[in-house]
Amino acid sequence: MNLEQLKEQVIRVIKTVFDPELPVDIWELGLIYDIQITEERDVVVLMSLTAPNCPEAVGLPIEVEEKIKQIPEVNDAKVMLTFEPPWDKDRLSDVARFELGLF
């Protein structure tokens, strides 16, 4: 598996993590800002939350990290939180907009 295929696998895994308050996965919500994969197959994910005081501030990043670490080709995974730029509804995908009835 090359790095691009591994990144696609990481995205598939991220799409299994859902916001506990919304019926949409965190990828479609636009909470994932960046994914970097090193030649050593270490994965670093930069993500945000819908609000800085979100009660899931601890749980979601840990869940993402643990699920990525379960991919056999991944050496290690780290999730870093950021609130710059702040998340807003413009980051929602069309899928998320449809699911949330925002069309």
CATH of the domain at 32: 3.30.300.130
Parallel/antiparallel/unpaired status of strands 76-81 and 42-47: parallel
Q: Does a structural domain hold residue 62?
A: yes
pLDDT exceeds cutoff 80 at 63: yes
| Full residue range of the structural domain in which residue 81 is found | 3-93
Q: What share of the chain is helix, strand, coil (3-state, %, to 5)?
A: 30, 20, 50
Span 63-89, average pLDDT: 96
Q: Taking the model in full, what pTM does it have?
A: 0.92
Q: Does a structural domain hold residue 46?
A: yes
Q: Does a structural domain hold residue 44?
A: yes
User: How sure is the predictor about 93, in pLDDT bands with cuts at 50, 70 and 90?
Assistant: very high
Q: Does a structural domain hold residue 88?
A: yes
Q: How many domains does the chain have?
A: 1
* Average pLDDT over all residues of the chain: 93
Among 30, 19, 101, 35, smallest CA distance to 68 is for: 35
Instruction: Determine the Cα–Cα distance for residues 91 and 58; give it in Å rounded to an integer.
Output: 21
Q: Does a structural domain hold residue 101?
A: no
Q: What is the pLDDT of residue 56?
A: 67
Q: What is the pLDDT of residue 57?
A: 66
Q: Does a structural domain hold residue 99?
A: no
Vertex 63 angle, CA 61 and 68, to 5°: 95
